[in-house]
Amino acid sequence: MKKLINDPRRVVAESLAGFGLAHHDLVRVHTDPDYVVRREPARNKVALVSGGGSGHEPLHAGYVGYGMLDAAVPGAVFTSPTPDQILPAVTGTDTGAGVLLIVKNYTGDILNFETAAELAQAEGISVATVVVNDDVAVEDSLYTAGRRGVAGTVLVERIAGGAAERGGSLEQVAAVAERVNANVRSMGVALAPCTVPHAGEPSFALADTEIELGVGIHGEPGRRRMPMAAADSITDQLLEPVLQDLGAASGEPVLLFVNGMGGTPLSELYIVYRRAVEVLAERGIRVARSLVGNYITALDMQGASVTVLRLDEELTELWDSPVHTPALRWGCEHGAGCAVGRELDACRSGGNGGEPAAAHRPGPGHRRCRPRGKHGPGLFRRGAEAGRRRNPGNSRRRAEAGGHDLNVQGRRRCGALVRYGVPAGLDGGGCGSGTRPCRRGRHACRGQGRHCCPWES
């Protein structure tokens, strides 16, 4: 076994510590017991709490943040978290509006989350539970009674999180989550097994010429083993039972989600996605939304899963609503849910007279920063003046060129933007690819992508 670990017994603890350091602007990691919460707790909304065994990253901790979870509870690798972990996550995130538990359908998860829910209810907290069981591969498995909860969990957490952010009641948010679960189906395939760190050997055996069709996210057996085939053939065999069980009709909009199991290159996932789109188009089913990548994994398993969610107007709107988590982010508006929510809120609240705080510092990863309005030319002029001071013997034209170079660097790195109060924390993976000036000195950002640079008007 070759893995970047120190002690197999410390994998979860050290990984959580690194996760907390990497995303300290978004989350706080509690230890003894282990659970993850938002850095800035939400107010007056239904709290969403989920969890399960580690090894499926970024699920669940990677989805803690605006528009998704309020807390995630990680167990040991492929092992359910215990009630004494889950309970403080529930009590610590309840704002009085109640807590929704999103639980994958595995026996250990069901029992432990049920116990925690009963203890929380005994303390006067309103708790509802939604069990995700989207896997069409098998009805019963090594760890389940009924269908397993797999990649559809990500979609349930995202859409239910959107419903909670817009102010829905506990009953309303739970109903949305149930509706997503009722309209989503998944199936996966393994090309090679995963290796659990403390076991030190593959979790199951597959010959070089074999694949496991319908595999679970812990390596549970699927529908059958079959010879390795071309990607299009495998995709067809994953998608057919999904569509047959889902019953999507011609002309119906769907969300198509191709997920990697942890050890599959993104290029191969796009090959699967391409074929899935072709099959859906042949049936007259319209792909209205998409997601491709490693969003619920099985350690280093080579393989993929295909998930289809039937959409309606409300579910589409909730999917598109702003989300800002370590692993999923788009559509931040007026700073809501941004990594720098505290700083943006401070600027919006007028705590500094509507002017940006000079103490704010930009992160090192800003790119695509595009100044608009009066600041663009101003930044250029100041850059040119700095160029002339730096090169007093040069001609004006060369100085302007030098100043322009500073301006470009400022735009790409935001190094020159500190005077404009660009808040800290936007160090790559910001909330949008475009920016706009906004009124009354408030920051705003919009767009979809990995970079954002708020500007004031």
Q: Which of 23, 24, 30, 56 is catalytic?
A: 56
How far apart are the C-alpha atoms of 337 and 67, rounded to whole Å? 7
Whether 404 is catalytic: no
Helix (H, G, I), strand (E, B) or coil at 419: helix
Contact call for residues 235 and 272 (beta carbons, < 8 A): yes
Contact call for residues 270 and 292 (beta carbons, < 8 A): yes
Full DSSP string of 310-360: E--HHHHHHHHS-EE-SS-EE---TTTT-TTHHHHHHHHTTTTTTSPPTT-
Please report which residue ranges of 9-99 form alpha helices under DSSP H.
Answer: 11-22, 83-93
216 bridge partner residues: none
- Nearest in space to 92 (alpha carbons), one of 53, 158, 42, 57: 42
Helix (H, G, I), strand (E, B) or coil at 388: helix
What does the block give as tokens for 323? Answer: 């989300």
Q: Which of 23, 24, 30, 218 is catalytic?
A: 218
Contact call for residues 308 and 254 (beta carbons, < 8 A): yes
Dihedral through CA 413, CA 417, CA 371, CA 26, nearest 10?
Answer: 70
Whether 218 is catalytic: yes
How far apart are the C-alpha atoms of 286 and 248, rounded to whole Å? 10
Its sign, for the CA torsion 406, 407, 409, 413, is positive
Catalytic residue positions, numbered: 56, 218
